[in-house]
């Protein structure tokens, strides 16, 4: 099968379009013919080698974390899916590889795709949608009447987080550039901060939750927005000791991550704020929940651009610019 292969970690390095063996189908696996694959900043960071200590993939391997497609075969123990089903998924860590014609995914990580969406739209959802769900529903336990600040509201995670937070009954503030103000308003944002003209930390206060997707300076400044007892949840780092334990990292890496996050954890504790790092995980059940919300018209997908499969490297380069409004997707015929 054709696939885009990472031969070695390299910043801005190109993936190689080549031939790879078809995936081996396990007894609990679903073999999916890929119709569309979402591009994520995680793909760029993984290609650059930024996650080598945490996600020890060994090149050569196929990159890609989001898929929408059609089931062509199922393992002997699979009961929820059959050939011909249209599905979407975020394959679990260690089993990624959606930049290919076929991928085998554990049944537990798969959901029927939202009926209302095209394959391209469905492929834009899994990683970003699951991240938003796991931050807001699981970690923050966001409730009606609470206030949340979502950074980078026009980004892949932000567009889902805004809509999900509104569905949960929260008041939503977000930060965007001038060009994206109207987009996030259309998604339901109540307070929009144009970061090119305004300082969010001077305008907002008394918030219950902040979702940080940006840099360390933004993370530090977010402490000023939260009230005592508030939660600062970051998906861009620094990883904390709890994450290190969950990942089963060795003692040296646990110590490194403890030191990297010591400053923000100390400052947060001093303000009686809870800091945590979240690295999303695959979950087909949660994708089914999201599909229900999408088919009900509560959440919509926002696709910035689509690229043909052969232009996957160009799609990665576009995501790397940071200018995408919503998600970028590659399509296979």
Does the model's pTM come out above 0.85? yes
- Locus of tokens 């900043």: 41
Q: How many domains does the chain have?
A: 2
Per DSSP, the residues of 80-134 read S--TT-EEEE-PPTTS---SBSEEEEEGGGEEEPPTTS-HHHHHTSHHHHHHHHI
Q: Do both 66 and 170 map to the same domain?
A: no
Residue 111 shares a structural domain with residue 137: no
Q: Is the peptide bond before 60 cis (omega within 30 degrees of 0)?
A: yes
Query: pLDDT for 261-275, tens place per residue?
Result: 999 999 999 999 999
* Co-location of 144 and 168 in the same domain: yes
Burial class (CB in 10 A: 0-12, 13-18, 19+), 19: exposed
Q: Is the CB of residue 194 less than 8 Å from the CB of residue 188?
A: no
Q: Do 68 and 137 share a domain, yes or no?
A: no
Q: Is 269 found in the same domain as 206?
A: yes
- Tokens 């940006």 — which residue? 214
Q: pLDDT tens digit string along 92-122?
A: 999 999 999 999 999 999 999 999 999 999 9
- Could you tell me if residue 287 is inside a domain? no
User: 259: which DSSP letter?
Assistant: H
Domain that holds residue 9: 2-125+301-331
In a domain, 25, yes or no: yes
% the chain with pLDDT above 70: 100
pLDDT of residue 55: 85
Q: Does residue 147 sit in the same domain as residue 120?
A: no
Q: Are residues 137 and 109 in the same domain?
A: no
Residues 132 and 77 in one domain: no
71/117 same-domain check: yes
Place 245 in a pLDDT band, splitting at 50, 70 and 90: confident
- 169 and 98 in one domain? no
Q: What's the pLDDT score for residue 323? A: 86
Q: Would residue 165 count as lying in a domain?
A: yes
Domain-located, residue 31: yes
pLDDT of 215:
92
Q: Are 248 and 309 part of one and the same domain?
A: no
Confidence class of residue 249 from pLDDT cuts 50, 70 and 90? confident
Q: How far is CA 19 from CA 1, 16, 314, in A?
A: 5, 9, 19
Checking if the pLDDT of 134 tops 90, the result is yes
Q: What is the CATH number of the domain that holds 26?
A: 3.90.180.10
Span 131-158, average pLDDT: 97
The reply to whether 184 falls in a domain is: yes
Chain-wide mean pLDDT for the chain? 96
**pLDDT the model gives residue 97:** 98
The answer to whether residues 104 and 12 belong to one domain is yes
User: Omega before 238 cis (within 30°)?
Assistant: yes
The residue-averaged pLDDT of 70-75 equals 98
**198: in domain:** yes
Share of the chain above pLDDT 90, in %: 89
Q: 240: domain CATH number? A: 3.40.50.720
CA dihedral (92, 95, 98, 103) in degrees, to 10, reads -110
The answer as to whether 8 is a domain residue is yes
DSSP state of 24: P
Q: What is the pLDDT of residue 76?
A: 98
Whether residue 286 is contained in a domain is answered as no
Is the pLDDT at 125 greater than 90? The verdict is: yes
């Amino acid at each position: 099968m054709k696939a885009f292969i990472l031969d070695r970690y390299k910043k801005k390095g190109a993936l190689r379009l080549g031939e790879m063996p078809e995936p081996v189908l396990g007894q609990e696996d679903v073999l999916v013919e890929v119709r569309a694959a979402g591009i994520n900043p995680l793909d760029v960071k993984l290609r650059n080698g930024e996650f080598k200590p945490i996600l020890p993939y060994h090149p050569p391997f196929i990159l890609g974390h989001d898929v929408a497609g059609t089931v062509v075969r199922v393992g002997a123990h699979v009961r929820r899916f059959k050939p011909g089903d249209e599905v979407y998924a975020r394959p679990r860590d260690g089993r990624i590889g959606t930049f290919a014609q076929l991928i085998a995914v554990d049944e537990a990580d798969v959901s029927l795709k939202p009926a209302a969406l095209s394959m391209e739209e469905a492929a834009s959802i899994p990683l970003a949608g699951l991240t938003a769900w796991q931050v807001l529903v699981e970690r923050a336990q966001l409730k009606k009447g609470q206030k949340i600040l979502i950074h980078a509201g026009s980004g892949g995670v932000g567009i889902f987080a805004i809509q999900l937070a509104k569905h949960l009954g929260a008041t939503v503030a977000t930060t965007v550039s001038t060009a994206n103000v109207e987009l996030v308003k259309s998604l339901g944002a109540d307070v929009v901060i144009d970061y090119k003209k305004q300082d969010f930390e001077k305008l907002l206060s008394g918030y219950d939750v902040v979702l940080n997707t940006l840099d360390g300076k933004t993370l530090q400044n977010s402490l000023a927005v939260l009230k005592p007892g508030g939660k600062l949840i970051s998906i861009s780092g620094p990883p904390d000791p709890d994450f290190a334990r969950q990942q089963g990292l060795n003692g040296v890496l646990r110590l490194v991550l403890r030191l990297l996050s010591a400053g923000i954890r100390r400052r947060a504790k001093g303000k009686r704020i809870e800091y945590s790092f979240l690295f999303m995980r695959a979950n087909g059940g949660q994708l089914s929940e999201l599909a229900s919300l999408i088919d009900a018209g509560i959440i919509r997908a926002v696709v910035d651009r689509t690229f043909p499969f052969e232009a996957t490297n160009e799609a990665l380069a576009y995501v790397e610019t940071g200018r995408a409004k919503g998600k970028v997707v590659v399509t296979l015929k």
